[in-house]
Amino acid sequence: MKVAKFGGSSVADAEQLEKVARIIQSDKERRIIVVSAPGKRFANDVKVTDLLINLGESYKENRQYERELSLVVERFRSIVTDLNLSDQVIDKIETEIKNIFASSEAIYSKLEALKAVGEDTLAQILSEYLTSLGMNARYLNPKDAGLILSDQPGGAQILEESFDKIYRLREYDGILVIPGFFGYTSTGKLVTFSRGGSDITGSIIAAGVKANLYENFTDVDSVYCVNPTIVNNPKEIATLTYKEMRELSYAGFSVFHAEALIPAVRAEIPVCIKNTNNPNCPGTMIVAKKEIQTGENPVVGIASDEGFMSLYISKYLMNREIGFGRRLLHILEDEGISYEHTPSGIDDMSVIMRANQMDERKERNVIKRIKAELKPDQVHVARGLALIMIVGEGMQRQIGTAYIATKALKDANVNIEMINQGSSEVSLMFGIKEEAVNAAVKSLYQAFFE
C-alpha cells in the first residue's frame, strides 16, 4: 500500500487535478491520498490558505470581508466548473465559513477552523472527481481517520494514541482522500500543523497504516542539492538518508516540511519526492541507510534559510559561573521563545533563534532581565542573520570539507559570523549576513558540485 500526498501546486486548478487523477489511476497501490489546499497557479498567485488567513484577519478586525470570502469561493468554483462537477460543495463552503464565524468558539479557534477549509474542501472535490471517473473513492475527515493532535494551534503535534486507529484504515478497500494540514485534539477541537503541514499528515498516515512507500508529489523532478531558485539547474539528488533530509529541510529545503520525516522515520517508511507534472521521473528517495561509495562527494546538499537573529552575551569568568546557560535559556523560556543553536566561548555565549519570535517588546523584556539577573559585561542583539547548512553523511569520514567551505565563502567575499559543526558530523553550519546568502550559496555550490 502507498500513501500519496499532493501538495498545493499539484492541486492548484482543474488541469493539475486531472494529472493527479491519472497518477492515482495508474497504480492500484495508491490507496490513501492526502491533499493540500490549492496553491499558486502562477508566480504572483495567492495560495488558498493565505486567502483564508486574509479572510480571518478581516473578520477578526471587524472589517468587511465579502471580497476575501468571494476570492476563496471563486477559486473553488472555477475548479468545480472545469471538472464538470456539481456545485453543491460551493454552497457548503460559504455556509461552513459563516457557521465558523457565528460559533461561540474563541477567536483563535475560529481562525484555526477557517485555515482548514482549503484542504477540507479540496479533499471533498477530489473524492467526487475520482468517483465521477469511475473510481471507488471516499472523502475521510481527519477525525474519522484518527488524527489526534496536541492542543498547539498552528503548531500541533501528533499524539501516539493516533497510530492504532490509523492502522485500521488498511481495512478499507477503495481509495481514501484525506485533507492534510489539520486534525483534532482529544476534546474535539480542530487544530492545524505549522504552515506546509500537509506533508506531516501524509507522513503520519503512511506511518500509521505501515505503508510500503510515502510518495510526496510536488512541482519539481527531485530534491536538488541546492535551492533551484538560487542556482539554475542544480544537480538532482537520487537518494538521501532520513538524517540528511531532516537537516536539509530544517535548514531551508522547503520542498519537504522539516517535521514531516519523523513519523516516517520511526516506522521506517521510505519516502519518495516526485513531480506531478512529470510522474515518470524517478524522483528522490529518502531512506534509512545508503552505501557511501569511495570517492563519492561527501556533501549531498547545501541549504540556506533567512530570518534568524542572535543574542550575544559576554561576561568575564562565565565559565566559572554554574548555571549561567540554564538561567539565560530560562529567561527565553519564560518569554515563550525557542532557540536553534547556542555557540559559546569561555566568556561568551550566543543564542540563535528565529527573529519572528521576538518582537520589540519581548526584546526589551529579555534584555532587561538578562542585565538584572545575569549581570553581563555586554549584551546585544543582531538581526538579519542567515544560516547555511552543508549536509552529508559522508562528511564524517572526509577530511577537508570545512576547508573547502570556508575557502568558497572567502572567494565570494562573505564574512562568517558563526560556525557550528553538528555533533553527528553530518552537518556544518555557517551564520552569515542575510544579504550575502545568494553569493555564498552559489560559491559553495561551485566548490562542492561543479
Ligand X SMILES: N[C@@H](CC(=O)OP(=O)(O)O)C(=O)O
Ligand Y SMILES: Nc1ncnc2c1ncn2[C@@H]1O[C@H](COP(=O)(O)OP(=O)(O)O)[C@@H](O)[C@H]1O
User: Which is nearer to ligand Y, 40 or 315 (by Cβ)?
Assistant: 40
What are phi and psi for residue 229, nearest 5 degrees? -85, -10
Residue 35 and residue 159: Cα distance in Å, rounded? 21
What is the rounded CA–CA span in Å between residue 91 and residue 354?
A: 41
Q: Read off the amino acid at residue 327.
A: R
Q: Does 223 bind ligand Y (CB under 6 A)?
A: yes
Short-list 168, 125, 118, 174, CA closest to 147 = 168
Is 219 annotated as belonging to a binding site? yes
Contact flag: residue 37 with ligand X (CB under 6 A): yes
Instruction: Give which of ligand Y, ligand X, none residue 228 binds (C-beta under 5 to 8 Å, depending on kind).
Output: ligand Y
255 binds, among ligand X, ligand Y, none (CB under 5 to 8 A by kind): ligand Y
Tell me which of 116, 255, 353, 390 binds ligand Y, using CB under 6 A: 255
DSSP state of 235: P
Least distance CB 313 / ligand Y (angstroms) = 34
Cβ proximity to ligand Y, 129 vs 445, nearer residue: 445
| Type of residue numbered 441 | V
Q: Which is nearer to ligand X, 7 or 301 (CB)?
A: 7
Of 15-23, 81-89, 98-106, 223-231, the segment contacting ligand Y by CB under 6 A is 223-231
Q: Which of 160, 158, 225 is nearest to 197 (CA)?
A: 158
Total residues at interface with ligand Y (CB under 6 A): 18
Give the residue, chosen from 2, 3, 4, 8, that forms a contact with ligand Y under the rule CB under 6 A.
8
Are the C-beta atoms of residues 149 and 157 closer than 8 Å to each other?
A: yes
Stretch that binds ligand Y, among 78-86, 123-131, 213-221, 400-408 (CB under 6 A): 213-221
| 119 labeled part of a ligand binding site | yes
The answer to the question of residue 9 lying near ligand Y (CB under 6 A) is yes
Residue 229 near ligand Y by CB under 6 A? yes
301 CB-near residues (< 8 Å, 6+ apart): 223, 224, 225, 226, 237, 240, 244, 248, 253, 390, 391, 392
Judged by CB under 6 A, does residue 202 bind ligand X?
no
Q: Which of 30, 31, 47, 110 binds ligand X (CB under 6 A)?
A: 47
Using the rule CB under 6 A, is 304 a contact of ligand X?
no
What residues contact 16, with CB distance under 8 A and at least 6 apart? 9, 10, 276
Strands 236-237 and 223-224 come out as: antiparallel
Residue 218 assigned ligand-binding role: yes
Instruction: Pick the stretch among 141-149, 190-198, 301-309, 316-324 that binds ligand X (CB under 6 A).
Output: 190-198
The angle subtended at Cα 221 by Cα 216 and Cα 226, nearest 5°, is 100
Give me 339's grid cell: 532557540
- 32, 176 in Cβ contact below 8 A? yes
Task: Determine, following the binding rule CB under 6 A, whether residue 304 of this chain makes contact with ligand Y.
Answer: no
Phi-psi bin for 164: left (phi > 0), alpha (psi -120 to 50), beta?
alpha
Min dist CB 65 to ligand Y, Å, is 26
Q: Which of 403, 412, 405 is nearest to 437 (CA)?
A: 412
Among residues 196, 208, 234, 376, the one that binds ligand X under rule CB under 6 A: 196
Contact characters 88-127, ligand X, x per CB under 6 A: ------------------------------x---------
Decide: is 49 part of the binding site for ligand X (CB under 6 A): yes
CB of 4 to ligand X, least distance (A): 13
47 binds, among ligand Y, ligand X, none (CB under 5 to 8 A by kind): ligand X
CA distance 70 to 377: 57
C-alpha to C-alpha distances, 43 to 82, 118, 218, 274, nearest whole angstrom: 21, 20, 15, 21
Residues 137, 156, 206, 220: which binds ligand Y (CB under 6 A)? 220
**Window contacting ligand X (CB under 6 A); options: 145-153, 169-177, 195-203, 324-332:** 195-203
Helices (H), 103-153: 107-115, 117-132, 142-145
Other CB atoms within a 10 A radius of the CB of residue 410 amount to 12
Q: Does residue 252 belong to the site contacting ligand X (CB under 6 A)?
A: no
> Would you list which residues are annotated within the binding site for substrate?
49, 119
> Would you list which residues are annotated within the binding site?
5-8, 49, 119, 218-219, 224
List of residues contacting ligand X (CB under 6 A):
7-8, 36-37, 39, 47, 49, 118, 180-181, 195-199
List of residues contacting ligand Y (CB under 6 A):
7-10, 36, 39, 196, 218-220, 223-224, 227-229, 253-255
